[in-house]
Amino acid sequence: MCGVRWVAIRNVRANSVLAQPILDERGRILLARGVLLSDNLLVKLRTLGIGSVCVEDALTDDIVGKDFISPHVRQQMLDATYSSLNDLASGTHVRYVRGARLRQKLRPLVEEVIEELRNLGGAEQFGTVYLSDGELYHHSVNVALFALSVGLGMKLSADQLLDLGIGALLHDVGKMRIPEKVLKKPGRLTDAEYTEMKLHAQYGYEILLNDHDLHGSARLISYEHHERMDGTGYPRGLVGGDIHLFGRITAVVDVYEALTANRVYRPAYLPHEAYELILGGGGTQFDATVVDGFVDAISIYPVGMTVELSSGYRGVVIHSPRRQTQRPLVRVIEDDNGQPVSQPFELDLSRELTVQIIGCEI
């Protein structure tokens, strides 16, 4: 059985075998696991804005990277998020109130996700490749996964986890009311545009008020995920404990997920750069207890990720220690000229403190 690793699309060799599916915004499979990536397919993927893919690799055949969640569950989450956000924004949410309500609809799926995350013991940086057109939906799914991982680590009750997961999935529903020219602007927003963008928190709360089946704590996530502990957030400038716990959790994971994703107006931050920003905000912008839970729950350089080291070497993460995930164990496979090393070797960055990760293929 071949191992797997994540590789930037520019570095994928023709005829590599896809090890993780590529999905559209609804979770539908566009390219399935096992597909041979021809030159033509690689060109199309670059055209579609795909930054990296997971491929089979004999050099890592003894490395087993655990999936974030099973592909079919991620597909269900994407489909449910897509339909829920669009139905809520268009007003067809009325059918949830009169018939199968939103909480009732999402409950079985969120409970399945909670069980999978419980078994995995934490969340990883990424799971599946997706098209840039589905950015909002994938962001919503990833935020929910990260939030639930933090919630599990904080020993929240089953009912709390359910409401946290549902609310996190729907946290950006208000963006469905923001004009696309603002939402997808390929550059810095003007002051007026930023003011308009910030309205999505208020819009989201108003939209979710129309579904009487949702618990108040789930609705508050949309309203409060941009609030900050020091009162510098929006829309209400809440301070400290005035922000609901779910809002405090979602604030942390929302920022982390957004920073580590490629955007049309900027490249992704390196995971450890985003991680350090979160740590630096603990106790000021972010709840220190939540940040501590985040550190415990999230593997920022997961097994299978290809990284570039300050020594010039490139390698693959083979172990990511808890609470020191920014300094993983790496198997070096290429020298500083980009050529395969004659004998791969392991480098423990938790011991080799002079060596840093300066790039990764996400």
* Angle (CA) 240 167 180, round 5°: 100
As a CATH number, domain 3-66+304-360 is 3.90.105.10
What is the residue-wise DSSP string for 152-194? HHTT--HHHHHHHHHHHHTTTGGGGGS-HHHHT-SSPPPHHHH
The structure tokens 């550059």 sit at: 187
Confidence at 22, pLDDT banded by 50, 70, 90 = confident
As a CATH number, domain 71-299 is 1.10.3210.10
pLDDT tens per residue, range 178-196: 999 999 888 889 999 999 9
Find, among 21, 117, 105, 23, the residue nearest to 66 by Cα. Answer: 117
pLDDT tens per residue, range 44-103: 888 887 777 888 887 766 665 555 577 788 888 988 998 999 888 776 544 444 434 888
pTM: 0.84
Burial pattern 177-190, b for ≥16 Cβ within 10 A else e, equals bbeeebbeeeeeee
Range scoring the smallest mean pLDDT among 57-61, 102-106, 125-129: 125-129
- Distance, CA of 204 to CA of 85 (rounded, Å): 10
Ordered by start, the domain boundaries in the chain are 3-66+304-360, 71-299
User: Is it the case that residue 155 has pLDDT exceeding 70?
Assistant: yes
